């Protein structure tokens, strides 16, 4: 995939598309089929081992996803019939992966990407090569999941200008 992505990037550059006007970071959840594993199999998977039963049955092993993980996706509760909104957010269990992308703000082409299991923290991916240093503008837009002191220091040190969203103050308007 890396060599294919590098060829795509070279084709864009030769056609005159230069990354400019900053970059936008975002993440997408990618679902994986839910696994039906025993507690012993789950323990082996967490420890990085292949369960013994699966080693003896290659067809079973080929149908198991050992890298996907569970996470919680938070969303706002919907309005009730009387028009009021519940004070609590909804936590929805999700099994799969997270696909992080960095796109050029002007042309909307994906410049960098990284895929991790769904349980991995969003914010740390920013420091793992997700930012495009060849972009002619230094501004970086992202949602609040990417805001942290470590990320702000990293962007400042690398010469990026942070436009990462801030969380809304509790019990105050935006």
Task: Report the C-alpha gap between 73 and 135 in whole angstroms.
Answer: 31
pLDDT at 57 (0 to 100): 86
| Beta-strand relationship, 23-31 and 110-117 | unpaired
Task: Report the C-alpha gap between 152 and 131 in whole angstroms.
Answer: 13
Task: Report the C-alpha gap between 100 and 26 in whole angstroms.
Answer: 6
The pLDDT of residue 87 is above 80: no
pLDDT at 35 (0 to 100): 85
pTM (predicted TM-score): 0.77
Report which of 141, 144, 133 is spatially closest to residue 108, judged by C-alpha positions.
141
Report the chain's mean pLDDT, rounded to a whole number: 87
Task: Report the C-alpha gap between 96 and 116 in whole angstroms.
Answer: 9
Look at residue 51 and give its three-state secondary structure: coil
């Amino acid at each position: 995939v890396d060599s294919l992505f590098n060829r795509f990037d070279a084709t864009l550059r030769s056609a005159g598309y230069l990354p400019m006007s900053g970059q936008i970071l975002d993440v997408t959840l990618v679902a994986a089929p839910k696994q039906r594993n025993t507690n012993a199999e789950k323990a082996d998977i967490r420890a990085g081992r292949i369960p013994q039963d699966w080693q003896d049955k290659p067809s079973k092993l080929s149908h198991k996803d050992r890298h996907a993980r569970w996470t919680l996706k938070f969303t706002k509760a919907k309005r009730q019939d009387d028009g009021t909104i519940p004070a609590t957010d909804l936590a929805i269990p999700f099994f799969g992966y997270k696909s992080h992308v960095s796109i050029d703000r002007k042309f909307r082409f994906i410049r960098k990407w990284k895929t991790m299991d769904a349980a991995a923290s969003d914010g740390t991916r920013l420091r793992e090569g997700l930012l495009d240093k060849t972009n002619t503008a230094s501004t970086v837009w992202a949602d609040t999941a990417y805001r942290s002191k470590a990320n702000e220091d990293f962007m400042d040190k690398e010469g990026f200008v942070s436009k990462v969203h801030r969380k809304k103050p509790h019990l105050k308007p935006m």
